[in-house]
Structure 1
Amino acid sequence: MPLLRRVFALFLWMLLGSTWPAHADVANAPGANLQVTVITYGPGDTYWERFGHIAIELRDSQDGEAISFNYGVFDFDEKGFLLNFARGRMHYLMDAEPTAVDTGWYVQAGRSITRQRLAFTPEQAAALRDFLLWNLRPENARYDYDYYVDNCSTRVRDALDKALGGILKTALAARPGSMTYRQQTDRLMSAQPWLMLLLDLGLGPYADHPLSGWQEAFIPMALQRELRAVQVPDGHGGHSPLVIEERQVSPNRVQAPPPQAPDLRGPMALAGAALAMLLVIARRRVPLLFVLLAVTWLVLAGLAGLLMLGLWTLTSHHSAWANANLLLFNPLAFVLIPAIWRSRRGVATPRRVDGLLMLQLLAGLLAIVLHLLPGVVQQNQPWLLLALPAWLALAWSLRSACHVPR
């Protein structure tokens, strides 16, 4: 069933339930009968599952009916889905289904399931229920997805905060987060190293700003952690924990992400030094190998530059804008390929190629200066350590081309 029809069918079913006098369900149960639980699902094996998932469960304590509401549904059949995805204009949907159906898939997939029952008053529980049912309507279910600021976890966070009267945001915004967007991305994607490196390369300075606990709750597991420390009025002039019960109902059976982001500086520095040495040695001894290595580097650098430039100028992926890595990898690399090919015969580089090489080295120097300036937050040290030795070795090799024996 198409997703919009599925959402509409469930919403209609819940509304019709209110016309059955012998059956008290979540849609029309009094607030005193509603139990509010946050269900957090751990990361999965597939790359789009590495950030985990989260949902709000409303349970009618009278008859045990439990409905799980989540904001993580997208429709591949949507017109222009792939183009919208590439441009950063993704449309996601809210969905709801019986909790047993929702959790069954995660159990089978081996992903952990943790339940946190929350201390909502009857009025707050009813307000949350009314908001979720309103949000579930077909005309309200779709929203513009953003990886970091508007996703399945931030929508759950905002719905809880709305029902709690702003208590959640006040508490979480006052606490510093443990990592930046970049660090969380690298940590969670570390099981897929090449994809992690591609994402890290494409992230601009936006991804390196310090986060509050409120902002870091874009990660379901971070929101789960933050909820444990929130206090709410107990109705007697004091405060009590928002989470009144937490238990893991299904263990994790897939590879868990590391607690910290990997430090890429060492490996990337070694890779940059190794590539530079290979370029220098091959230029002297195996010209054909030098050509293959250099052309591969230039093609990859040019493609990376086109990708970053496109993300900045043609898409709504604001986390990729103003990326300083464009100074290290840019489309000008393509212009150097003919000179590399001619260098195998010891032909001196044309004056314009010398100018391009000098321009690229100055761009690398500018990237270092920008990184050292106070107030510049982009953490691109790994890419500086990779790119600069390679560009220096390439420049030296081309400048010395006319002195290489044929």
Structure 2
Amino acid sequence: MPAASIVRRFISGFVGLVVCCALLWPSHARAGVANAPGSNLEVSLITYGPGDTYWERFGHDAIELRDTVSGEAVTFNYGVFDFDESGFLLNFARGQMHYLMDAAPSDVDQHYYVDVGRSVTRQHLAFTPAQAADLRDYLLWNLQPENVRYEYDYYVRNCATRVRDALDKALGGTLKPQLEARPGGMTFRQQTARLMSQQAWLMLILDLGLGPYSDQPLNAWQESFLPEVLQHEISHVTVTGLEGKAQPLVLDEQELSPNRLVPPPTTAPDLRLPLALAGLVFAALLLATRRFAPIVYALLGSVYLVLAGFVGVTLLILWTLTTHHSAWANANLLLFNPLAFFLLPALWRSRKHLAVSRVANGLIALQLLAVLAACLMHLLPGVVQQNQPWLLFALPIWLAIAWITRRQQPAAFFPS
């Protein structure tokens, strides 16, 4: 969940460096957040709504510390990535991404989100003076160059979970058990599809690449990898106040700027019908063109087999050579795998009504068994990958390819 575009990243990094130097300046030189007593510190959770760009679709958040005496307010966030890092693109592909913490004056940080039309919400939190001072000290420690980087993960270590964990640490661990006791509303897959639905092509790619890890049931602590979920869930949290009495963690909530963008849907789109129809249409085109336009049939079939093979290679790489654990053990490998490349000669032979080889026939049979296995996996207990849309897409196409190539076999190959 990057906090900004490339240009803004450089600006934010520069501002963060200036703020870091200012905050760490000796206490006698200035008054403000860095050296204010805890009783003067006001702690707030700032939540920014989703943006239009794909890396902004998950939203963003930050912790704001405000010195009520000097009026200084600083936001700390964990959503900055560094393109200048050595091997950044390779590390990104391998799933070994490093993100940065950043700090900026609140008005500077929030100005960007207001300008682009994203909502900005502040929740004033009930921190005791000691807790506020502990949080401030931890954030300043985390902002130091040797501590500013962290290993990023989409679902378990991102801008929202780092903010959540910092709040929980300062609160003495009271946040986590309360959120873990509350059930989540959606899975990782459903939340991803919901938020990416306005970029349909990217939503489909992500859904295809996600494995069973993304379909596990979540509690509110896990689902608060999303800023908007964390914003909602902490309103149900209670803490012990100075007088020893329980009180809500959120003292008040204020919308600083309304959302002016198209909001994401409240539920994840159901991909089963669209992909099932797409599979049926493609299979029908293969059958029709095989009879009336053999060249078109061969080209269409080749496109499918090449894409299926490419997807299979990509899924294998994600599983075996990267740390993208949300893509491991992907059952879509049964539907799209590198064996598809070896069926290309058979496809072009069938264009001329020529019999395919026994090897190709065996590969087709193996592929049909793989599709059957993918279907049967949904009868197993426990967490099963929710890849029904891709099953419904691939099944009619593989059946069409198998039926066409089967018709070319000499009768001796298939005794009655």
Query: How is 1:218-367 mapped onto 2 (pairs within 5 angstroms)?
Result: 218-367=225-374
**Is 1:115–1:249's contact at 8 Å kept on the other side of the alignment?**
yes
Instruction: Find the aligned partners of 2:12 and 2:257 in 1 and give their Cα distance.
Output: 27
- The equivalent of 1:10 in structure 2 is 19
Deviations 1:337-382 (A, max 9, x none): 1111222211111111100000000000111111221124211110
1:16 is paired with a residue whose SS is coil
**Is 1:308–1:326's contact at 8 Å kept on the other side of the alignment?**
yes
* Equivalent AA in structure 2 for residue 14 of structure 1: L
Give the TM-score of the pair, scaled to structure 2: 0.94
- The equivalent of 2:4 in structure 1 is none
Give structure 2 stretches of 5+ with no counterpart: 1-9, 411-416
- The equivalent of 1:210 in structure 2 is 217
2:368 is paired with a residue whose SS is helix
Query: How is 1:111-260 mapped onto 2 (pairs within 5 angstroms)?
Result: 111-260=118-267
Instruction: Find the aligned partners of 1:117 and 1:17 in 2 and give their Cα distance.
Output: 28
- The equivalent of 1:87 in structure 2 is 94
- What is the identity percentage for the equivalent residue pairs of Structure 1 and Structure 2? 64
- The equivalent of 2:3 in structure 1 is none
* Equivalent AA in structure 2 for residue 147 of structure 1: Y
2:25 is paired with a residue whose SS is helix
**Is 1:7–1:137's contact at 8 Å kept on the other side of the alignment?**
no
Correspondent of 2:110 among 76, 99, 103: 103
- The equivalent of 1:45 in structure 2 is 52
* Equivalent AA in structure 1 for residue 126 of structure 2: A
Query: How is 1:8-87 mapped onto 2 (pairs within 5 angstroms)?
Result: 8-16=17-25, 18-20=27-29, 23-87=30-94
**Is 1:39–1:56's contact at 8 Å kept on the other side of the alignment?**
yes
- The equivalent of 2:6 in structure 1 is none
* Equivalent AA in structure 2 for residue 191 of structure 1: Q
Instruction: Find the aligned partners of 1:138 and 1:6 in 2 and give their Cα distance.
Output: 14
**Is 1:272–1:387's contact at 8 Å kept on the other side of the alignment?**
yes
Instruction: Find the aligned partners of 2:183 and 2:159 in 1 and give their Cα distance.
Output: 21
**Is 1:118–1:243's contact at 8 Å kept on the other side of the alignment?**
yes
Instruction: Find the aligned partners of 1:239 and 1:79 in 2 and give their Cα distance.
Output: 49
Instruction: Find the aligned partners of 1:224 and 1:311 in 2 and give their Cα distance.
Output: 32
CA gap 1:143/1:53 in 2 versus in 1, 3 angstroms: same
* Equivalent AA in structure 1 for residue 310 of structure 2: L
**Is 1:298–1:333's contact at 8 Å kept on the other side of the alignment?**
yes
Instruction: Find the aligned partners of 1:348 and 1:49 in 2 and give their Cα distance.
Output: 52
Instruction: Find the aligned partners of 1:107 and 1:14 in 2 and give their Cα distance.
Output: 25
> Offset at 1:8?
4.7
**Is 2:15–2:104's contact at 8 Å kept on the other side of the alignment?**
no
Please say which of residues 379-388 and 237-246 is displaced more in the overlay.
237-246
Instruction: Find the aligned partners of 1:134 and 1:352 in 2 and give their Cα distance.
Output: 63
Alignment RMSD, CA only? 1.5
**Is 1:190–1:196's contact at 8 Å kept on the other side of the alignment?**
yes
Deviations 1:82-137 (A, max 9, x none): 00000000000000010011001111111110110101010100000000000000
**Is 2:298–2:347's contact at 8 Å kept on the other side of the alignment?**
yes
> Offset at 1:2?
9.1
2:236 is paired with a residue whose SS is coil
CA gap 1:46/1:115 in 2 versus in 1, 3 angstroms: same
Matched, 1:379 2:386: yes
* Equivalent AA in structure 1 for residue 347 of structure 2: I
**Is 1:7–1:136's contact at 8 Å kept on the other side of the alignment?**
no
> Offset at 1:3?
7.8
Instruction: Find the aligned partners of 1:135 and 1:142 in 2 and give their Cα distance.
Output: 9
* Equivalent AA in structure 2 for residue 346 of structure 1: H
* Equivalent AA in structure 2 for residue 180 of structure 1: T
Instruction: Find the aligned partners of 2:296 and 2:406 in 1 and give their Cα distance.
Output: 18
**Is 2:122–2:256's contact at 8 Å kept on the other side of the alignment?**
yes
Instruction: Find the aligned partners of 1:252 and 1:313 in 2 and give their Cα distance.
Output: 41
> Offset at 1:281?
1.8
Instruction: Find the aligned partners of 1:346 and 1:26 in 2 and give their Cα distance.
Output: 79
> Offset at 1:64?
0.7
* Deviating 4+ runs (over 3 angstroms): 1-9
CA gap 1:376/1:210 in 2 versus in 1, 3 angstroms: closer
Would you say how many aligned residue pairs link Structure 1 and Structure 2? 401
